[in-house]
Homo-oligomer: A and B are copies of this chain.
Amino acid sequence: MSDDDSAVARERVIESMEQSAEVYGLSRSAGRIYGVLYFASDPLSIPELVEETGYAKSTVSNVTRTLSRIGLIHRRSSEGGGRRVRFEAEREVWFILQDVFQQYIQREVQTTLRTIRRAEEQVLAETREQERVRNLRETYEDLEEIVQLASEYSAAELREALETYER
C-alpha cells in the first residue's frame, strides 16, 4: 500500500490498456497515452505527455489526434484561448465501448449486409448459392439488430436484459 506499490499498480493497468488498444485496432502508444491521461489528475499538454510516456513529440501529436477523433480523449482548448492544448481522458469506459461498437462493428455489419442483399438479388434463384447467401443475410440481420440495440443500452441495462431473459 506504499506510494511505490501504487505507482506499480497504476503502471500495470496502463500496460493492460496498451494490450487492449491492440485488440481495438489501435497502437500500443495509443493505449499508453490514454492510460496516462486516464490516471492524470488534470488534463495534460503534449510536452507533458512526452515527459510521461517517453514517446517523441510527433508521435504524441499524431496519437492524440486519432484518439480525439474517435472520442477516447477530449481536447480542452486551454483557459485564455491560448495555443497550448490539453487533453483529458474520457473516463466513462462504457461510452468508449459503445463508440467502438457504433463506429466499428455497426458500420462493418451494415456495409456487409448491403453487399449481401445486393448479391442475393443477383444470384440465381433456387440454387445452393442463393440459399447460402440467404443464410448469411439472416444471420447478419439478427446481428445488425443486436448491435443496434446493444449500442443504445448502458452496461448495467444490457447486463440486466441478458440476465432476466427467459428463453
- Interfacial residues, chain A to chain B (CB-CB below 8 A): 1, 3, 5-6, 8-10, 12-13, 15-16, 19-20, 23, 38-39, 41, 91, 93-94, 97, 104-105, 108, 111-112, 115-116, 118-125, 127-129, 132-133, 135-136, 139-140, 142-143, 145-146, 149-150, 153, 155-165, 167
CB atoms of B159 and A161 under 8 A apart? no
Known: A19-B112, A93-B135, A160-B165. 4 other contacts (CB 8 A): A1-B124, A23-B105, A142-B155, A146-B162
Our pick among B13, B112, B156, B163 for the contact of A16 (Cβ within 8 Å) is B112
Q: Which residues of chain B are near A38, meaning CB under 8 Å?
A: 132
Roughly how many angstroms separate A118 CA and B164 CA in the complex, as a whole number? 30
Interface of A is mostly: helix
A32–chain B nearest beta-carbon distance, Å: 15
CB atoms of B167 and A157 under 8 A apart? yes
CB atoms of A119 and B9 under 8 A apart? yes
Q: List 15 A-B contacts (CB under 8 A).
A: A1-B122, A1-B124, A5-B124, A6-B127, A10-B129, A12-B119, A16-B115, A16-B116, A20-B112, A23-B104, A93-B135, A149-B162, A161-B161, A161-B162, A161-B165
Given contacts A10-B129, A13-B115, contact A124 B155 (CB under 8 A): no
